[in-house]
């Protein structure tokens, strides 16, 4: 493993890049982890790429990826992530190369990832903010985040910001080849998918500054595109859920899957089911279920299980309607340990946990009304 990789996308940042590198290197060093900076330049006509090459020859921590032409922020980050993952990065950081994001916050973002999988530098939590923005820009950015948050039903307040630290597990789990959005939409999509895959997301307050030199590359079109694509993102998330059909009996498939490579049932490497019900995994089960404040219903499912497909939408509805119960799902193919330790022998099985203890187990698909009857005494 090779510590923290800061990915800096640049397009015409000739005036900012050298001072950015000078500012970020000591801050990364402060965080105490081994660190690298990867500049991803899209053939900037102002010569940013040449400056980046010179800086790379002066600083062993700096590397440069040259892309032929301007192809957008999202694709630039994805290529940078791919390079950093291949080099063994443990923490992958996003940051604008124009001083909008304070290099002084880098150690806090990295430290925050000690017990979170994605740390977001957030303008819209207590202590965060924006400097020198007019009322209209403020309202557009805030409104955009509120709109995306409401539509996607996620608890994150700053969905469009680009100052982030991902743990390696997130980016190696998400199928990055399916991330299609660009600009602000890219930021929304990455955070949404991270949450839906069951990872822990934390926001830490930051103040966003006006860029120091040069001009913004984001246009009103990119901002509007992000907004109109949000509903599609939700639908696309639902598409992710489309299960693989298997002809074998589900019990047989389940038994086999416990002892064999989980991925064999998911040969295309599809991401986990996505909807309003988040996924939990063997590794975050303790934090998300056992240590949860209120009751949690865990739906044990697998993509090849027909009856699970019947239960899925019922649980989505129950999750949306009830404030007194949190519903999560666990793919038994990918997470056999938890399923085995709770004696889940067939699926779907739903277990309600209260204060970390198994309070009630329901086995098999059933209509919504009956499931609610089963739950009533436990939640009363």
Ligand X SMILES: Nc1nc2c(ncn2[C@@H]2O[C@H](COP(=O)(O)OP(=O)(O)O)[C@@H](O)[C@H]2O)c(=O)[nH]1
Residues lying near ligand X in the complex (CB under 6 A): 9-11, 13, 40-42, 70-73, 76, 96-98, 100, 211, 216-218
CB of 98 or CB of 279, closer to ligand X: 98
Provide the phi-psi class of 16: left if phi over 0, else alpha when psi is between -120 and 50, else beta: alpha
Taking the complex as a whole, the smallest distance from the CB of residue 334 to Mg ion amounts, in Å, to 38
Q: What is the full DSSP assignment across 112-129?
A: HTTS-SEEEEESSSTT-E
Rg of the chain in Å (alpha carbons)? 22
Taking the complex as a whole, the smallest distance from the CB of residue 180 to Mg ion amounts, in Å, to 22
CB of 73 or CB of 344, closer to Mg ion: 73
The beta strands (E) that lie in 49-88 are given as: 62-66
Q: Which does 194 bind (CB under 5 to 8 A by kind): Mg ion, ligand X, none?
A: none
Taking the complex as a whole, the smallest distance from the CB of residue 40 to ligand X amounts, in Å, to 5
Q: Which does 163 bind (CB under 5 to 8 A by kind): Mg ion, ligand X, none?
A: none
Q: Which does 64 bind (CB under 5 to 8 A by kind): Mg ion, ligand X, none?
A: none
Phi then psi dihedrals of residue 133, to 5 deg = -100, 140
List the structure tokens of 170: 């997130």
CB of 200 or CB of 211, closer to ligand X: 211
Q: Which does 316 bind (CB under 5 to 8 A by kind): Mg ion, ligand X, none?
A: none
Per the DSSP assignment, residues forming a β-bridge with 301 are: 331
Q: Which does 76 bind (CB under 5 to 8 A by kind): Mg ion, ligand X, none?
A: ligand X
CB of 46 or CB of 169, closer to Mg ion: 46
Taking the complex as a whole, the smallest distance from the CB of residue 138 to ligand X amounts, in Å, to 14
CA torsion through residues 151, 375, 307, 175, sign: positive
Taking the complex as a whole, the smallest distance from the CB of residue 378 to ligand X amounts, in Å, to 47
Cα–Cα distance measured from residue 292 to residue 287, given in angstroms and rounded to the nearest whole number: 7
Q: Which does 10 bind (CB under 5 to 8 A by kind): ligand X, Mg ion, none?
A: ligand X
Instruction: Write the CA distances from 87 to 3, 63, 78, 246, 380, integer angstroms.
Output: 10, 12, 14, 37, 52
Cα–Cα distance measured from residue 380 to residue 378, given in angstroms and rounded to the nearest whole number: 6
Tell me which residue has its CB nearest to ligand X: 216
């Amino acid at each position: 493993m090779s510590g923290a990789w800061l990915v800096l996308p640049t397009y015409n940042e000739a005036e900012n890049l050298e001072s950015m590198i000078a500012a970020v290197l000591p801050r990364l060093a402060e965080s105490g982890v081994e660190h690298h900076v990867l500049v991803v330049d899209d053939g900037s006509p102002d010569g940013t790429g040449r400056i980046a090459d010179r800086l790379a020859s002066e600083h062993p921590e700096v590397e440069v990826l040259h892309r032929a032409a301007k192809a957008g922020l999202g694709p630039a980050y994805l290529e940078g992530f791919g390079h950093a993952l291949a080099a063994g990065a443990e923490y992958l950081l996003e940051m604008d190369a124009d001083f909008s994001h304070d290099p002084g916050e880098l150690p806090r973002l990295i430290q925050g990832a000690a017990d979170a999988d994605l740390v977001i530098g957030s303008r819209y939590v207590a202590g965060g903010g924006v400097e020198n923005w007019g009322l209209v820009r403020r309202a557009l950015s805030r409104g955009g985040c509120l709109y995306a948050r409401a539509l996607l039903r996620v608890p994150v307040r700053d969905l469009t910001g680009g100052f982030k630290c991902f743990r390696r597990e997130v980016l190696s789990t998400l199928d990055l080849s399916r991330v299609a959005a660009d600009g602000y939409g890219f930021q929304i999509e990455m955070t949404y998918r991270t949450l839906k895959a069951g990872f822990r997301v934390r926001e830490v307050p930051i103040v966003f500054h006006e860029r120091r030199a040069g001009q913004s590359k984001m246009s009103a079109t990119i901002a509007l595109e992000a907004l109109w694509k949000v509903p599609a993102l939700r639908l696309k998330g639902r598409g992710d859920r489309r299960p693989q059909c298997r002809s074998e009996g589900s019990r047989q498939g389940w038994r086999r899957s416990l002892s064999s490579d989980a991925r064999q049932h998911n040969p295309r490497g599809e991401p986990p089911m996505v909807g309003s019900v988040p996924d939990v995994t063997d590794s975050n089960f303790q934090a998300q279920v056992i240590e949860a404040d209120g009751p949690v219903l865990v739906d044990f499912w697998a993509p090849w299980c027909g009856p699970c497909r019947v239960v899925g939408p019922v649980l989505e509805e129950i999750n949306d309607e009830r404030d007194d119960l949190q519903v999560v799902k666990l793919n038994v193919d990918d997470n056999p340990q938890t399923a085995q330790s709770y004696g889940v022998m067939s699926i779907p099985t739903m277990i309600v946990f209260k204060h970390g203890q198994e309070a009630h187990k329901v086995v098999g698909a059933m209509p919504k009304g009956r499931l609610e009857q089963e739950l009533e005494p436990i939640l009363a």
